[in-house]
Chain A
Amino acid sequence: MSKTNNFVFWSLYIVAWVIFVGLSIEAGGLVVNFFFSLYKPEFVQNLYQKLDLTEMYKASRLAFFGIYSFILIVSILKACLFYIVIRLMHKMDLLKPFSTFVAKQFSQISYYTLSIGLLSYIARELAKNLTHYGFVTDNLNQFWADSQAFILMGAVIYIIATIFKKGVDIQNENDLTV
C-alpha cells in the first residue's frame, strides 16, 4: 500500500476516534439528562444538550419513555458503531485485509447502521405523530435528522459486506487447495 493511502487511512483512524469520543460523550450526557429529568427536572437547563422533556413527562409518561428510549438506543448504537469501526481499523492487517475477522466486522457495521437508520426513522414518525397531540418535538429533530442517510448507507455496506464475505470464503477455499 502506498504512503499516501496509509496517510489517509491513519487520518481516518484518528477522525473515527474523535467521532467515537464525541458520540460516547453524547450518549453519556443523554443518560445523565434522562435521570435528571426524572428526579431533578430543574437541573436539566444546566446539563449537556439541555434536552428538557419534563413537560412531556408530566403530560404522558408513555410518550416520554418511548421517545427517550429511542433517543438513548440510537445514540448508544452510534457509539457502538464507531467502536466497531475503530476496532476494525486497529486490528486489520493492511497487507492481508481479506480475513474472516474483517468480513464479520463489515457485517456488524452494516447491521448497526441499518438498525440506527430504521430506529431513527420510526422515532421520527413517532415524534411527528406526537405533535398532533400537542407535544412540542422540534428540539428532538437533531437526533434523527439523518435517518434516511443511515438506511441508505447501511444497505450499501450490507451489499459490500456480503460480497466481501463471499470473497473471503473463496480465498479460504483456494488456500486449502493442495
Chain B
Amino acid sequence: MPIVVNLDVMMAKRKMSLNELSEKVELTLSNLSILKTGKAKAIRFSTLESICNALDCQPGDILEYANDDNTKTTNR
C-alpha cells in the first residue's frame, strides 16, 4: 500500500502513549492499533480530525504517500 501511516512517529514526537491517545481521541485501542500497524484500509475524516487535534499536527504529518519503489528503498 503506497499510503504510509506515521502515527507512531508523531506519538513518539509528542511523547504520547497509545492508551493516552485512545482516551483523547475516543477510539478503541484495537482500532488505533490497526491504524498504527498500517492494516487500516481507510480512515474517516472525523477520526483524522480528532487525531490531528490530539497530537497538534497536520494530516500530512500522519499520512505519507510513498510509491512502491520508494517504499522498497526506505525498507532497505
Contact = CB atoms under 8 A, between A and B. Distances in A.
A177 interface: yes
The A interface, classified by DSSP as helix, strand, loop or mixed, is mixed
Q: How large is the interface on B (under 10, 10 to 19, 20 to 34, 35 or more residues)?
A: 10 to 19
A42 interface: no
Report which residue of B34, B40, B41 has the largest number of chain A beta carbons within 10 angstroms of its beta carbon: B41
Contacts of B40: 176-178
Interface string A80-119: 0000000000000000000000000000000000000000
Interface residues of A, number: 5
Contacts of B32: 178
B9 to A, nearest CB: 17
Contacts of A177: 40-44
Given A176-B42, A178-B40, 6 more contacts: A173-B41, A176-B34, A176-B41, A178-B27, A178-B31, A178-B42
Pairs A-B, 7 closest by C-beta atoms? A176-B41, A177-B42, A178-B35, A178-B40, A178-B31, A173-B41, A178-B43
Interface of B: 27, 31-32, 34-35, 39-44, 47
23 contacts: A172-B41, A173-B41, A173-B42, A176-B34, A176-B39, A176-B40, A176-B41, A176-B42, A177-B40, A177-B41, A177-B42, A177-B43, A177-B44, A178-B27, A178-B31, A178-B32, A178-B34, A178-B35, A178-B40, A178-B42, A178-B43, A178-B44, A178-B47
